Structure 1
């Protein structure tokens, strides 16, 4: 029984790790029943890594965050081939969204990934949201529900399991859960009308997994974050919404929960609340064993029923079994990302560049879910068309450089959220009325008389679509 209990505890863990090859401790853990692993940009691209993991345990649930747009792991070094959820929502073509989801699934299927922690089914109801923003299909629940379902259909048709996140909805927050515990200030009625429809649609579309968010939702549970709340995870998600697939935590090292509980306590309490898999974004062998031992101790003490752990491990196995039965021969659709980026481009004014411009990147700090190496791409896209294009990057709060006779392009992100960015736009417009502003996020009010381009996504193809418009 002791050996079986240890294997059950290992089965519900999904650790991340350093390096582009499987470390020895991870290989040993896979032999001891480890149920999954999560990959990040630091691990990829690596052709040998996933085969190494599969060689130790062919049924391992290999997960990755590949939303497209601003959150990409496989394409973090070049920028994504897909414009992201907001762009798909702005284009509002469900067939296009399904095709994009399928092509992302095809990329992951070719690499051997089991589970994609996507799509974000959050309704971006709060314009000041620092962590969701363009990761959401939009601010309206019906729109988000339609496109979340389409993305899931596309992704899973390529043989890769989808995961709707961040239940019960991270859209109406002003705090990044990587940094602190966000609170959703909404009534139970508002939550049901606004935040839950996309998750209902995801479940109806057959989504294989749901990720819960590290959120305090007082209208549902005034004391515990959703990750640890049986009321939210079992009462609402399982019993009311009828979801019977795998429920996984967001990364447990995020400060929303890590600042309040130990890793072992988070794991045990989350499992007791109804979670099936524990995502530990960065861990070593000692940390993995501490999680395992905390779960084993909780079962032995009676704090975690053995039947609950068995149920959780069975749901993890079910995802692996689903993956093993899928046809992963989806047709290639390589142009869908650029097609979607073009469809999402919104423009006010007119401009055509005939010579190399000065590109001023008015940088705003991207949220913690974004790999810091992900490039904006517009300078590269313009340089390919107009050699000699030069880039200047402003730090947060930085001042504009001196302008010469060259065309000037200001690249901003989420200008609606940052007063100092709007000030720089106004200053540039006063100095150079012919300035072109490109917002790669959610824009604020467009400045009068200025050519303004909203890509509605931060990706390589979003930049290519903007560069194409600017030069043709």
Structure 2
């Protein structure tokens, strides 16, 4: 695989040096080979849905990082009995793995095989493989570095549409060989730093201090205190203060995204549309489900958007032209899924982030853009959400707004209970849950992820 990718990259470079740029290709199709008849898929999904309990349905609406199920907080590299029980008990719909979960080809194949063998409806087993960058599963493993050579930013500059589609094909083939069935890629965000709210470092630090706790108090040195004792107290304080500052910075670093620009194909929406569509077409031709991210285009505010509310103040007409058009291209290419981000579009809904906004998810994504696939939230356990809503509030708002899946709820078991209780008390219509689960089942059947 490495040899093939290396040859391919050399060819890309040669063509690039001859003045190659992305050009539209006619007749691109996002459909997979041997696609099942839509009516048959709907019929199968409907039969499965009728036999499911309410908790089983809601469990399918949960997507979680595998490490969130860890028993000791360490990266999960094998399926333990307790993790297996958590997945089965809560009927979880999908798990995402990152580079921390990958130690070797043999190890990851064993892990994905074990996950696929769990009883119940087959899991989405995904990863975030863009083709390169820090999130690539190949970043720490030379055995599978065939997927991790080129970042989307470089692809957008140097690859033609044909080359991007071929890259999608190769990524999908390698991921499928490792046991994955969906990819959290590509990114359809346009890299433009305009019409965005400013975030102060003081605002970020205050939030981190609220989470870490109060800073250690500076000792009061009394006049009668001996120099030795005063020096000892001062040293103790300096040590405690240094430790505290490390904790504050670690908290900020955990939720800071420094490389969002590398996930973006371009600052030109036409280039992004063509590139995203080509990558999706390539991946789907190999039966790999794709999840385009992060609607409505969070990259320009990505650095701190998981920590504090970040706003995009662009007007609606410009949003349609620059932000929404790239996601429309992804929809036209047949993307299976879409992630909605925690960013405020103030000209559409100033009260809620896109991930929790019915105006954006239902009116814009479903009705205006016509997306019929699986729609899921960005992670719900990040500070920008947990500092403003209780876990239950965020989960219910997301479902009511139109999300089909909840990504990383604060507590999986409690999330299932919260949504189930809301249905029983008529705060959420069970028909809405059924519609969400039907979309998930249809996609799993159509992609060959779930076989009856």
Residues 396-453 of structure 1 show CA distances to partners (whole Å, capped at 9, x for unaligned) of xxxxxxxxxxxxxxxxxxxxxxxxxxxxxxxxxxxxxxxxxxxxxxxxxxxxxxxxxx
- Paired position in structure 1 for 2:77: 20
- Paired position in structure 2 for 1:9: 58
Where does the alignment leave 5 or more consecutive residues of structure 2 unmatched? Answer: 1-49, 71-75, 197-256
- Paired position in structure 1 for 2:286: 158
What is the distance in 1 between the residues matched to 2:127 and 2:422? 29
Alpha-carbon contact 1:131-1:176 (below 8 Å) kept:
no
Mapping 1:89-100, distance limit 5 Å: 89-100=156-167
**TM (normalized to structure 1)?**
0.64
What is the distance in 1 between the residues matched to 2:431 and 2:258? 39
- Paired position in structure 2 for 1:36: 94
- Paired position in structure 1 for 2:426: 302
Instruction: Select which of 140, 163, 167 maps to 1:77.
Output: 140
SS of the aligned residue for 2:53 comes to helix
Mapping 1:60-459, distance limit 5 Å: 60-78=123-141, 81-126=148-193, 130-173=258-301, 175-280=303-408, 287-324=411-448
How far is 1:319 from its partner?
A: 2.3
How far is 1:114 from its partner?
A: 1.6
**TM (normalized to structure 2)?**
0.67
Q: Single out whichever of 116-125 and 265-274 deviates more from structure 2.
A: 265-274
How far is 1:167 from its partner?
A: 0.7
Alpha-carbon contact 2:181-2:449 (below 8 Å) kept:
no
What is the distance in 1 between the residues matched to 2:62 and 2:428? 16
How far is 1:65 from its partner?
A: 1.1
Alpha-carbon contact 2:127-2:180 (below 8 Å) kept:
yes
| 2:97 corresponds to 1:48 | no
Alpha-carbon contact 1:215-1:256 (below 8 Å) kept:
no
Where does the alignment leave 5 or more consecutive residues of structure 1 unmatched? Answer: 327-472
Alpha-carbon contact 1:114-1:320 (below 8 Å) kept:
no
Residues 295-341 of structure 1 show CA distances to partners (whole Å, capped at 9, x for unaligned) of 11111121211011111112122221122179xxxxxxxxxxxxxxx
Alpha-carbon contact 1:65-1:71 (below 8 Å) kept:
no
Residues 240-286 of structure 1 show CA distances to partners (whole Å, capped at 9, x for unaligned) of 110000011111122222221233322221111111111118x7xxx
Question: Pairwise CA RMSD of aligned residues?
Answer: 2.3
Alpha-carbon contact 2:260-2:302 (below 8 Å) kept:
no
- Paired position in structure 1 for 2:5: none
Alpha-carbon contact 1:137-1:144 (below 8 Å) kept:
yes
